[in-house]
Amino acid sequence: MEPRYRLRVYLLTALVLAGFGVLLSRLYEFQIDKREFYRNQVPGNRQITVREPGIRGTIKDRNGVELARNKRQYEISFNLEEIHEAYRLQREKDPKLDTIKNDNGIPRPKEITDIVEIVKERVIKPLKDLGLARDFNATKLRTHYKTHGGLVPFVYTRDITYEEFAKFAEHSLDIPGVYLNVRPLREYPYKALSSHTLGYLRQWSTGEIPEDARRQYGYQYVGDDKGVAGVEATLDDILRGPEGWKQVVKSEKGKILGETDAVDPGIGADVILTIDAEVQYLLSNILRRAGTASGVVMDVETGEILAMASVPDYDPNDFIPSISMEKNAEYEQAKIKPLIDRSISRFPPGSTFKIPTALVGATKGLATRSYNCSGYLSYGNAKVGCWIAQKGGSHGGLGLSKAIQQSCNPYFMQLAGSIGTKGMADGFSMLGLGEKTGIPLPNESPGLVTGSRAWQRARPNLKVTPIDIGFLSIGQGNALATPLQLCAVTACVANGGRYYHPRLVKSAVAHRGDQIQEIIKDEPRLKVDLLKEGVKPSDLNLIREGMRMAVNVPGGTAGRAKIPGYEVAAKTGTAQVSKVLDIHNAWTIAFAPYDKPKYAVCLLVENGKSGGAVCGPLAHLLFRGLMARDEGMKLPLHPLDPVIGNMDAIKEIALPDDVLAAIDVSQDDGETGNEGTEAAAAAGISTEPLPDSQVVTPKPTITPEADADGTVTQPEGRER
């Protein structure tokens, strides 16, 4: 073939291939990419698929009391694209917005459809006649239409009763693009009770819409609410139920003709917490006697958390389905942030750290060693005093039990020196200090242990000195711990040396048809058995006896925790938080009954001046309630209103006179938490604790207020 003919054949072939390519691309565009668009242009009935979110599982306490559940909610929503299409069938032109603004605020001419005017004419007028019209935010409606079109329904109102629901159902077919839905709404029946543990939800956002949603669902996509705090957040995946869908037939005018097929949304897993709602109510009410406080109650034999509370608190219902602007501003402007869970936040632990120091010493064979207290301990030119030295005395020679009873600083600082830096850091880590416990809650702090890897990473150029370790043993310097961590250590002492991982979730069960799937099993998790780490039972008895003496023997620091008829064992602590502001934290860790321990307790009061005088009475009240219930008394359980809290200094929490007459408080807690301040300053150690990592509280969905464009004038006689 001649070259000129060959070239012509090549050109012809290329043109044919190019033509087929263009044809195929246009076919793909018409038949696949814009299939729904062109189908909707054809007069006649059409079928659309509507996604329905899954139903969230309930959260219950250990006895089956529902702490988070769902209630029925009636909702009116708009498919703005359908409303617009119905308007076009009767009007040649859309109402327009004349101008919109650039980012710099300068108006520029551009005509766009004013969907608000269309909604007012096509929808609001008939809703007024039905008595169902509500004020709405017009700006949000315009933004919603521009962003989603008809894919995501615009929620017009949830403020309708069952009677209004029934009235609307009779006439809904006459208003194209308007839907009446029945959806589950999260409810927390006991309000602020366990609010930090439960958390709350946030409405699903635009960024959570999958890319193929329009192709799969056509017009209606409703996403799942998302847990953003508490176990609602950490167990969100199992609490969410499987999605459902329904296929709806609509006429060319947008009227619903019926359903052809549907799959009901599934129900998420039921989560059973270890929390006992009655004990939680008891603890929460007791903490309200202080301005800002937190507390934990654990079962010593399993590590199960029976109660965990933090004051101030909040009502999770305020965030469902979205929080009002006024309430959101109230939470954000609160001086003491109510969304922070103080039971898993880190604080200077004060003398409560003498108990883990004693346990670590026991693993090194030092539990039977005696040390001398002359009223202070010298570290070079620095002297760390004992609280008794402020009264002109000293403890002299001490054994472990007596040192715990009288909370002697020099004893434990010398014990820590015998253990050594690595031994203290490793031993505290073995007891869960300086690391997260792993309970399923967001923002749990690991605390801080002097000499640990985390401490060294924060101070790569500093060397751990003997005085650093001395301050660790008495919970001063930069030592930090959470109430939950200290409660777990207390439970370990109470049960004979077994440290269980704290457990907040007892079990989780999902129902899949007739099948029951156990997602989380009810199994205690043992972290360490101290008897296998070199601790003798007799060593543990010395520690337990010291805590018993602190409550029940004159000269102890925890006499106000004593209750008639039972022996309580406890250790108090008072930690200086700020010398400049004269702020202290008061602590008490305790367990009871002494002979057969059942409960371990940790209580913290911020700006409490004395662990014995402030937290001791709270422990007394808590144990009295627990023991009374064990004797058969029914504890109350009611919805709990949130409290705002305060940081007023508390010198003492009073007990009734008849209680004081039955217990000996003549030798109250002499600790002040100040004994090491001057010595630390002389040694170049800051006793101001390191700031905790900033707790990030998730941004809730805020309910927009109605604006001028969306204000609806109700017919006369219509009550709102």
Residue 17 lies in a domain: no
Phi and psi, residue 712, nearest 5°: -110, 130
**pLDDT recorded at residue 719:** 41
503 by DSSP, 3-state: which? strand
* 619 backbone φψ class: left, alpha, beta (φ>0; ψ -120 to 50): alpha
**pLDDT recorded at residue 39:** 60
For residues 628-665, one letter each, b for 16 or more C-beta atoms within 10 angstroms of the residue's C-beta and e for the rest, the string is: eeeeeeeeebeebebbbbbeeebeebebeeebeeebbb
Are both 455 and 544 inside the same structural domain? yes
Residue 40 lies in a domain: no
The token pair that represents 411 in the structure block = 């004893």
Among the candidates 210, 240, 273, a domain finishes at 273
Query: Strands 702-703 and 323-324, how do they pair?
Result: parallel
> Domain count of the chain?
2
Q: Residues 484, 504: contact at Cβ < 8 Å? A: no
Are both 189 and 309 inside the same structural domain? no
Chain Cα centroid distance, residue 232? 8
Residue 409 lies in a domain: yes
Residue 117 lies in a domain: yes
CA–CA separation, 199 and 59 (whole Å)? 11
Identify which of 156, 670, 53 has the alpha carbon closest to the alpha carbon of residue 385. 670
DSSP state of 714: P
Assign residue 150 the CATH number of its domain.
3.90.1310.10
Among the candidates 273, 302, 329, a domain finishes at 273
pLDDT in tens, 660-711: 555 555 444 456 666 555 444 444 454 444 444 345 566 676 766 666 676 7
- How many angstroms separate the first and last alpha carbons of the chain? 90
Phi and psi, residue 462, nearest 5°: -105, 145
Mind spelling out the 3-state secondary structure of 642-679? CCCCCCCCECCCCCCHHHHHHCCCCCCCCCCCCCCHHH
**pLDDT recorded at residue 244:** 83
Are both 186 and 301 inside the same structural domain? no
Are both 142 and 105 inside the same structural domain? yes
Would you call 695 exposed, middle or buried from its count of C-beta atoms within 10 A (0-12, 13-18, 19+)? middle
Are both 571 and 431 inside the same structural domain? yes
DSSP state of 435: S
Alpha helices per DSSP H over 349-452:
354-363, 400-406, 409-419, 421-430
**Inter-CA distances, 183 with 68, 74, 408, Å:** 16, 7, 61
pLDDT in tens, 123-166: 888 888 888 888 888 888 888 888 777 777 888 888 788 888 78
Identify which of 578, 680, 560 has the alpha carbon closest to the alpha carbon of residue 617. 560
The token pair that represents 523 in the structure block = 């199994």
- Residues 6 or more apart whose Cβ sits within 8 Å of residue 518: 507, 508, 509
Are both 249 and 313 inside the same structural domain? no
Q: Residues 410, 384: contact at Cβ < 8 Å? A: yes
Assign residue 421 the CATH number of its domain.
3.40.710.10
- Residues 6 or more apart whose Cβ sits within 8 Å of residue 269: 57, 235, 238, 239, 508, 509, 510, 517, 519
Among the candidates 273, 295, 310, a domain finishes at 273
Are both 265 and 394 inside the same structural domain? no
Are both 157 and 220 inside the same structural domain? yes
The token pair that represents 282 in the structure block = 């008891």
Are both 68 and 176 inside the same structural domain? yes
Are both 262 and 322 inside the same structural domain? no
Are both 330 and 395 inside the same structural domain? yes
CA–CA separation, 352 and 611 (whole Å)? 10
**Inter-CA distances, 338 with 310, 411, 578, 697, Å:** 9, 39, 22, 10
Residue 293 lies in a domain: yes
- Residues 6 or more apart whose Cβ sits within 8 Å of residue 14: none
Phi and psi, residue 170, nearest 5°: -70, -25
Residue 20 lies in a domain: no
- What is the domain range of residue 195? 48-273
The token pair that represents 84 in the structure block = 């617009």
Residue 57 lies in a domain: yes
Residue 692 lies in a domain: no
Weakly modelled stretches of the chain, pLDDT under 50:
666-669, 678-684, 686-694, 715-720
Are both 305 and 379 inside the same structural domain? yes
